[in-house]
Amino acid sequence: MKFPSFDLERIQSIYENSVEINLTESGIEPLSLKELMNPKELEELLNLPLGYGYTQGTPLLRQRISNLYEGADENNVLVTSGSSEAIFLSAVLTVSKGDRVVMMTPNYLSFNGVAEALGAEVDYVPLLKKEKWEWDLDCLDEAVSDKTKVISVCNPNNPTGSVLNLEQMLKIVEIAGRVGAYLLVDEVYIGAELGSNLTKSFLGMYEKTIVTSGLSKSYAHPGLRIGWIISGKRFVEEAWAIKDYTTIASSSLSQHIATKVLEPETITKLRSRTKVLLNKNLETFSKWILPYSNHLSFLKPEAGGFAFVEYDMDINSTDLVHDLRKNEGVFIVPGDSFGIDKYFRIGLGHESIGFSKGLDLLSEGLTRVFPEKFT
């Protein structure tokens, strides 16, 4: 079994901590424990024994995760080490050599890498840039066949920030049901909506739905490395059996903190903070990009912590990103990392002062590289 290079994760891990301003993060500025917990809760944390705990996740944590989804309970939940493990376990359970899978693109390219390593063929169905980014469901219908084992969806989408409406979701369910394919849905950006409407989950719409999510994005706690699978009880038990071979258990310390994060009152505060920060930075970004509108364009995201920018300059996106990183010390994500060139992604979840400074550095870099266009 040979895994393809996961370019997005690799370049971030190498460079994100060594640049002046890192705008590659797709989540929200993290909280400290002092910001999250009161003195009594912090004292309780200091006295927590650091044992293995529950390998499938503590009952209370699984209950609080299930409370996020209508009709689910703790038996529908497996706690994982980040949503990345949730995607990995789901792929291992659903894909075998010779299978075909269909994946939305652009996308966070994790599931497809595991599927290819397992010997599957991956068909990519694009989002189309219209009034908003929309998935080409006619193309999806044509791509799905009796050999299709999994349809992989990211909703809200990373990197475009688009959200499927109910009519589109029902059509996707219909297409999956036609061939009995699993519907694997990355919903990690639910809760990071810029407007007032919370994105509807696919869970409960189709029997063979598998939802993956976690605390790294909308909930602003990536360092906890807490994710989850939520699906049918049998699927969750099978995933748990494979987890015994991978991480065995998520950190007991992280699970304890995650239980606090998922208290209803804390969720309300975190989502409010997320919405305020994203909208403030989106307003700043929209003003910044206006003078460059002859060469840069983007569609306003509906959810998620980023803006996905198209450009018309004659340079590969990875080459552009590394040039800006080396010379200006500002780091953004190339469209190549999502399967589409001539784009880059800018994280909107950074604290506002650093975000504005990053945009200033980006202006300096674009002016240096393309003086005839950006001066």
pLDDT digits (tens, 9 = 90+) for 1-12: 788 778 778 888
The whole-number average pLDDT for the span 181-200 is 96
pTM, two decimal places: 0.95
Check residue 1 and give its pLDDT: 78
Percent of the chain, pLDDT > 70? 100
CATH 3.40.640.10 in the chain: give the residue spans: 49-261
What tens digit of pLDDT does each residue of 131-176 get?
A: 899 999 999 999 999 999 999 999 999 999 999 999 999 999 999 9
Cβ partners under 8 Å of residue 152, min gap 6: 101, 102, 103, 104, 107, 111, 112, 184, 185, 186
Return the amino acid letter for 313: M
Q: Is the pLDDT of residue 348 over 90?
A: yes
CATH class of 7-31+266-365: alpha beta
- pLDDT score recorded for residue 230: 98
Per-residue pLDDT band at 275 (split at 50, 70, 90): very high
The pLDDT score that the predictor gives to residue 124 is 96
Measure the CA angle with vertex 27, ends 22 and 29; round to 5°. Answer: 70
CATH 3.40.640.10 fits 49-261, yes or no: yes
Tens of pLDDT along 218-240? 999 999 999 999 999 999 999 99
CB 280 within 8 A of CB 109: no
Q: pLDDT tens digits, residue range 71-128?
A: 999 999 999 999 999 999 999 999 999 999 999 999 998 999 999 999 999 999 999 9
Q: With 80 as the cut, is the pLDDT of residue 375 above it?
A: no
Is residue 297 exposed (0-12), middle (13-18) or buried (19+ Cβ within 10 Å)? middle
Cα 140 to the center of its chain, rounded Å: 21
Express each pLDDT in 34-83 by its tens digit. Answer: 999 999 999 999 999 999 989 999 999 999 999 999 999 999 999 999 99
pLDDT of residue 12: 86
Residue 203 has a pLDDT of 98
> Using 50, 70 and 90 to split pLDDT, how confident is the model at 259?
very high
Q: What is the 3-state secondary structure (H, E, C) of 308-355?
A: EEEECCCCCHHHHHHHHHHHHCEECEEHHHHCCCCEEEEECCCCHHHH
For residues 199 and 187, give the distance between their C-alpha atoms in angstroms, rounded to a whole number.
9
- pLDDT above 90 covers what percent of the chain? 91
Query: Which pLDDT does position 278 carry in this prediction?
Result: 96
pLDDT tier at 241, thresholds 50, 70, 90: very high
Q: Which two tokens stand for residue 153?
A: 């969806």
Where does the chain hold its CATH 3.90.1150.10 domain(s)? 7-31+266-365
Q: Taking the CA of residue 350 as centre, how many other CA atoms within 13 Å lie in the half-sphere pointing to its CB?
A: 25
